[in-house]
Amino acid sequence: MQNIKNRTKITNPHILELIKECVDNTKTMDFKLPRKIRFLQCEAARRAGLATYKDSTIVLSTFIYKETDEAIKSVIYHEIGHLIAGPLAHHGPVWQRVVNKMSQITGIKITRLYSDSDMPIHAEERKKAYKYIFRCKSCGCTCNYLRETVFTKTYNEKTLTGKPRWTCARCGGTFEKIKG
């Protein structure tokens, strides 16, 4: 389910400038673009952007505004790519062809998902908000908690048979606490 609440108009002039640049560039790429694309913003914390097809609307998550222009434009192109590729394309080959062409022309890397390295400032801020961070000693993946849980209290306990009570879902390793 897409959360359509709390969408507001974009007023940040710098972001409006970047949007204009991306839309104008895309118009030169001979894709079939919706006649008018509406841009809005919301406060989503995880998703960087969202496209809705019925009303040709792109919703940017405001946390991306803190990132580099390149990262912001990447999200804008990603979402314009969805409007061009259509609702059935998802991140499949049709969408990929569109964004590959955008990347070739603009030199901007457009990815399917945005990882922490694409959005380093947001990742850093999120990390600061976490009270507890644990790392798997084998594969290095981390789990983060905003507050104390059963896991944060017992992450290195063993069961009666001597096996670790908690193991990494990815690799079966055990955890070490790196913050908290």
In the complex, which residues of this chain contact Zn ion (CB under 5 A)? 136, 138-139, 168, 170-171, 173
Residue 164 vs 173, nearer CB to Zn ion: 173
**Which residue, 7 or 78, is less far from Zn ion as judged by CB?**
78
In this complex, which beta carbon is closest to Zn ion, that of residue 105 or of residue 139?
A: 139
Question: What is the smallest separation between the CB atom of 1 and Zn ion, expressed in angstroms?
Answer: 16
Q: CA-based diameter of the chain, in Å?
A: 67
Which one, of 51, 115, 40, 118, lies nearest residue 80 by Cα?
Answer: 51
- Min separation Cβ 13 and Zn ion, Å: 26
Residues in Cβ contact with 69 at an 8 Å cutoff, skipping those fewer than 6 apart: 18
Question: What is the closest distance, in whole angstroms, from the C-beta atom of residue 95 to Zn ion in the complex?
Answer: 7
Distance CA 66, CA 49 (A): 14
